[in-house]
Chain A
Amino acid sequence: MSYKNIKTTISILSVVILLCSCDHGISPKPASQEVTGFSGRITFVGTWPDSIKRTHIVVFKDPLLDSKDFNLLNIKFISREIPFGTAVYYYSSKDSSVIPGTEAFTPGEYAYVAVAQQASDELLLVRSAWFVAGVYYTPGDRSQPGKLIIPEDTFVRNIDIVCDFNNPPPQPPGGN
């Protein structure tokens, strides 16, 4: 083997290395076209009050700092009814709902997620008609209601809420 052959070997090797390395190896699988939304589990602790007629999961875009914040423009989700007396209830925004009425949910940040109950047979969209039985908290932080953050093309899971009838959460302004 002469020097010329060695140098030829080096040149060929360099080209092979460059060609092989153009590919970047393992790549992420394409994103699944997942419906944007959220799901979770509602756990009820204690005995359901007999007065309850309706129970829903509700989601508000902005925080409920004032009774005026409880308005139709701010309400982004009202689930279908949760049956009376349920101990554990699994829900998904993909399920049929009162609001928005479509399977897909708009991505974004939502300030207040709660389980709200009414004592009336009809669905009333006034603050005074509602009682909050449970609020979603970010795991490990119960100092304030947790935000629901839904990125694009992402289905967020584990938005769990505990409703303790013996120890109800702080009520937003404007209630009875």
Chain B
Amino acid sequence: MKIIYYIFFSLTLVCVIRAQSYSIYGTVTDTIGKPIANVNIVVIGTGFGASSNEKGEYFILDLSPGVYELEFSAVGYKKFKSDSIKIKDRSINVDVIMRQKAIESEEVVITAGKYEQKKSELPVSSEIIPGAEFIEYNYRNLADALRYVPGVNMTEDQISIRGSSGYSRGAGSRALLAIDGLTFYTGDTGETVWEMIPVTELRRVEIIKGAASSLYGSSAIGGVINGITRRISEKSLTMLNAFYGFYDRPYYPEWDWSGERRPFNGITLSHSNTLGKFGFNLSFTRLEDLSYRRDDFYKKYIGFLKAVYNFSSTSSIALLADTFNKRAGNFLYWKDSRNALVPPDVDNNGRIETNRYLFGIIYKNVLSDKYFLNIKTSYYRNNFKDNGTPLNESTSHLYRGEIQLNAGLTEQIVLTTGVEGNTSVVKSNLFGNPNSFGAGVYAVADINLDFPLIISVGIRYDYSKLDSLKGSGAVSPKIGLNYKLNDNLIFRSSLGTGFRAPTLAEAFTSTSSGGITVKPNPDIKSESNTTFEVGVNYIPFNFINLDFAVFRNEYYNMIEPGIDLSDGLAVFDNVLRARIQGLEANVSASVIPRTLDLALNYTYMWARDVEKNVALKYRPRHLFYSSLNFNKWNLHFGIEFRFWSKVEKIDDELVDLGIVVDGEKRVPVYVTDLNFGYSLYSIGMPVNVYLNVKNLFNYNYVELIGNLREIRSFTLGLNLAI
């Protein structure tokens, strides 16, 4: 095909030369080197233009000598305007890289509401992470990227959206992760395993803040993370992403346990193609990290397949397969602050191995121009074991099924209804051998009164039963409003309830690890909340986007881990009547149009146990993020800064009992990252190279008691698309 193109192009050139006219030609790609088709290219001030083909190639013919400017536009990408192009006596090659839109809210589409909606029409706050950022910023894990989302903070691998969660070592989650609509949580612990998601396969990630239980049920009590995988390429496309990096030496010589700079590396090979009605994305990822901490290394292998068969233009079936294997050290806490990067002697040589598989089938059928059917079913196997004494091992099998029907009842009303069920079978020496069962039915109506006003009304009923415990049900209603006063000013508000059933781990865990013994709690009950938000989005000038929101969440019977002081054992219990309230302010500005972007985000959170009048654990009161990104001449340069105030309360009991020596040490978080990227497409090579410096100032901080976060690291990466 390429040969045909060049022959055609050469012939074209000959014709052009004969006519004493010339061409501008080139290739349009995104920031990870993937060709973009159907880009509209306009020669400004003339009637000339073109559209890119499936390989991103374009050519504009019959141009007389002169000076021209091109404007490139495509759905989902920021407009790009070229520098002045002077044609004198030859045709000119202009290759262009277009960036995905992130801040221009009007056109951005969100599917976290189980059908496509414009971000600006949602009644709740939401955020988008464009897929290209995972490679540009060398986010090896979805959790790394979530650390920079406004209103979100992480405590190690546990997410907290607007203060929804503290830390419970993987037992339960108050934010639900879905990939292409399939939920990713384990059948025993109920945890979200971020590391099994191959980030290079993600097109974008949507974050919905606030309870989404009326659509998603339990686990979405704090919000939803919705990942959308890459589209399947219409032509053969192979991509290679590889990186190598190393951690710098620790800032304090006392911590330099290894005497060397510890390396890490990763490689992803992916292929995408369409063969008639069948198309697929297939990738394999290997990640290795020797870690800056002793007994914290890992080797991970991730296999991912998305295969789609289109029965017709209106119906398709997709298979999603995600496999994950990890062999790693098992670092629980530091020895003490003088030995912050090594575990206590008794925990030396801790190891853990995990094997996880998720297989899902998604059937879609547009029944008519008003009805859309979506059937999803999945199986998630989770197995992990360590080498502790006693050895901990657990295997769970989670089966899920969901039938969803979207109906355009009228031109103004979209009704989303569905029914789903799940069952989990567990065999474990931590949790026993319990089973669980859950089912839910939901209906949400979005009523569009010609947008200035959209009303969203929904309700869901869930029933949950954990093994021998008494079953419980919950009704989760919600109402949301979105009012567009004018093109530049949009108000939104929502009021809803959420609930979360305890996980098997929270009810039945009985084990010892790192000096902590956990006992089961057969009396544990579901937790619930009410959530309220009001927000406004304002665009005073076309280069500034302002967003402001106030929120308040009331939690009842909130499940938190703690120490039973009567016996010194850890236990999950309904201990809290909590309130989390605050505000969020975001500013996005294009300082130099299409060249220099600035984003500032601030979140204030007041998170307290209102009965004891003490702060909730692991919730910083202030979150601040800023980023500055420069894009020009195929060059990308970005700087990101993250601030979390010092958390008021941690697991003080672990310090008092002497389990975590110097565990009281914690500080505010100040982390600065640098990112450089350069595309070699301009010199004919389908390669992008990246250089990342993380934690530039080698700042030492903890998110979790006794766990120093990553010290300064340097990474060099490349992305090749063929």
Contact with A along B655-690 (1 / 0, CB 8 A): 000000010011110101000000000000000000
CB interface residues, A 1-41, toward B, < 8 Å: 1, 3, 6-7, 9-10, 13, 17, 20-29, 31
Contact A28 B697, CB 8 Å, known A10-B628, A20-B643: no
Contact A26 B700, CB 8 Å, known A1-B540, A3-B591, A6-B589: yes
The 4 closest A-B pairs by CB, nearest first: A21-B697, A25-B700, A26-B700, A28-B338
Closest partner residue, chain B, to A30 (CB atom): B338
Contact A20 B708, CB 8 Å, known A28-B254, A31-B338: no
Q: How far is the CB of A167 from chain B (nearest CB, A)?
A: 28
Interface residue B50 (Cβ < 8 Å from any Cβ of A): no
Q: How far is the CB of B336 from chain A (nearest CB, A)?
A: 7
B337 engages A28 (CB within 8 Å): yes
B696 engages A21 (CB within 8 Å): yes
Q: Which residues of B contact A9 (CB under 8 A)?
A: 598, 600
Contact A17 B540, CB 8 Å, known A1-B589, A26-B340, A29-B336: no
In the assembled complex, 23 residue pairs joining A and B whose CB atoms fall closer than 8 Å, in A order, are A1-B544, A1-B589, A6-B591, A7-B591, A9-B598, A9-B600, A10-B598, A10-B628, A13-B600, A13-B641, A17-B626, A20-B670, A23-B699, A24-B697, A24-B698, A26-B337, A26-B340, A26-B666, A26-B701, A28-B254, A28-B255, A29-B337, A29-B338
Q: Which residues of A contact B702 (CB under 8 A)?
A: 26
Q: Which residues of A contact B628 (CB under 8 A)?
A: 10
CB interface residues, B 348-391, toward A, < 8 Å: none
In angstroms, Cα B602 to Cα A9, docked, is 14
Q: How far is the CB of A30 from chain B (nearest CB, A)?
A: 9
A25 engages B699 (CB within 8 Å): yes
A17 engages B670 (CB within 8 Å): yes
CB interface residues, B 319-360, toward A, < 8 Å: 336-338, 340
B340 engages A25 (CB within 8 Å): no
The contact of B591 among A10, A21, A24, by CB within 8 Å, is: A10
Residue in A10, A23, A24, A26 with the greatest tally of chain B CB atoms within 10 Å: A26
B708 engages A17 (CB within 8 Å): no
In angstroms, Cα B697 to Cα A24, docked, is 8
Interface residue B252 (Cβ < 8 Å from any Cβ of A): yes
Interface residue B115 (Cβ < 8 Å from any Cβ of A): no
In angstroms, Cα B667 to Cα A21, docked, is 12
In angstroms, Cα B598 to Cα A22, docked, is 23
In angstroms, Cα B172 to Cα A78, docked, is 57
B701 engages A17 (CB within 8 Å): no
A27 engages B591 (CB within 8 Å): no
Closest partner residue, chain A, to B254 (CB atom): A28
Q: Which residues of B contact A3 (CB under 8 A)?
A: 591
A residues apposed to B, CB below 8 Å: 1, 3, 6-7, 9-10, 13, 17, 20-29, 31
Interface residue B251 (Cβ < 8 Å from any Cβ of A): yes
B residues apposed to A, CB below 8 Å: 251-252, 254-255, 336-338, 340, 540-541, 544, 589, 591, 598, 600, 626, 628, 641, 643, 662, 665-668, 670, 672, 696-702, 708
In angstroms, Cα B506 to Cα A63, docked, is 56
- Beyond A21-B697, A24-B251, A29-B336, 20 additional contacts (C-beta under 8 Å) are A9-B598, A13-B600, A13-B626, A17-B641, A17-B670, A20-B670, A21-B672, A24-B699, A25-B670, A25-B699, A25-B700, A26-B665, A26-B666, A26-B702, A27-B252, A28-B252, A28-B337, A28-B338, A29-B337, A29-B665
Closest partner residue, chain A, to B661 (CB atom): A29
In angstroms, Cα B665 to Cα A104, docked, is 31
B699 engages A21 (CB within 8 Å): yes
B708 engages A26 (CB within 8 Å): yes
Contact A25 B252, CB 8 Å, known A7-B591, A17-B672: no
Closest partner residue, chain B, to A13 (CB atom): B626
Closest partner residue, chain A, to B590 (CB atom): A6
Q: Which residues of B contact A10 (CB under 8 A)?
A: 591, 598, 628
Q: Which residues of A contact B540 (CB under 8 A)?
A: 1
Closest partner residue, chain B, to A24 (CB atom): B251
Q: How far is the CB of A149 from chain B (nearest CB, A)?
A: 15
Q: Which residues of A contact B697 (CB under 8 A)?
A: 21-22, 24
Q: Which residues of A contact B670 (CB under 8 A)?
A: 17, 20-21, 23, 25
Q: How far is the CB of A38 from chain B (nearest CB, A)?
A: 15
Q: Which residues of A contact B340 (CB under 8 A)?
A: 26, 28
Q: How far is the CB of B627 from chain A (nearest CB, A)?
A: 10
In angstroms, Cα B698 to Cα A22, docked, is 10
Q: How far is the CB of B373 from chain A (nearest CB, A)?
A: 48
In angstroms, Cα B257 to Cα A28, docked, is 14
Q: Which residues of A contact B698 (CB under 8 A)?
A: 24
In angstroms, Cα B338 to Cα A28, docked, is 5
Q: Which residues of A contact B699 (CB under 8 A)?
A: 21, 23-25
B667 engages A26 (CB within 8 Å): yes
In angstroms, Cα B543 to Cα A1, docked, is 10
B589 engages A27 (CB within 8 Å): no
In angstroms, Cα B540 to Cα A77, docked, is 81
In angstroms, Cα B337 to Cα A25, docked, is 12
Q: How far is the CB of B354 from chain A (nearest CB, A)?
A: 28
Q: How far is the CB of A4 from chain B (nearest CB, A)?
A: 11
Q: Which residues of B contact A31 (CB under 8 A)?
A: 338
In angstroms, Cα B142 to Cα A22, docked, is 29
Closest partner residue, chain A, to B546 (CB atom): A1
In angstroms, Cα B600 to Cα A1, docked, is 14
B700 engages A27 (CB within 8 Å): yes
Q: How far is the CB of A85 from chain B (nearest CB, A)?
A: 32
Q: Which residues of A contact B254 (CB under 8 A)?
A: 28
In angstroms, Cα B589 to Cα A27, docked, is 37
Q: Which residues of B contact A21 (CB under 8 A)?
A: 670, 672, 696-697, 699
In angstroms, Cα B529 to Cα A129, docked, is 80
In angstroms, Cα B293 to Cα A97, docked, is 40
B598 engages A6 (CB within 8 Å): yes
Q: How far is the CB of B314 from chain A (nearest CB, A)?
A: 48
Q: Which residues of B contact A26 (CB under 8 A)?
A: 337, 340, 665-667, 700-702, 708
Q: Which residues of A contact B708 (CB under 8 A)?
A: 26
In angstroms, Cα B466 to Cα A56, docked, is 62
Q: How far is the CB of A137 from chain B (nearest CB, A)?
A: 18
In angstroms, Cα B671 to Cα A20, docked, is 9
Q: How far is the CB of A153 from chain B (nearest CB, A)?
A: 11
Residue in A10, A21, A25, A28 with the greatest tally of chain B CB atoms within 10 Å: A25
In angstroms, Cα B338 to Cα A31, docked, is 8
Q: Which residues of B contact A24 (CB under 8 A)?
A: 251, 697-700
Q: Which residues of B contact A6 (CB under 8 A)?
A: 589, 591, 598
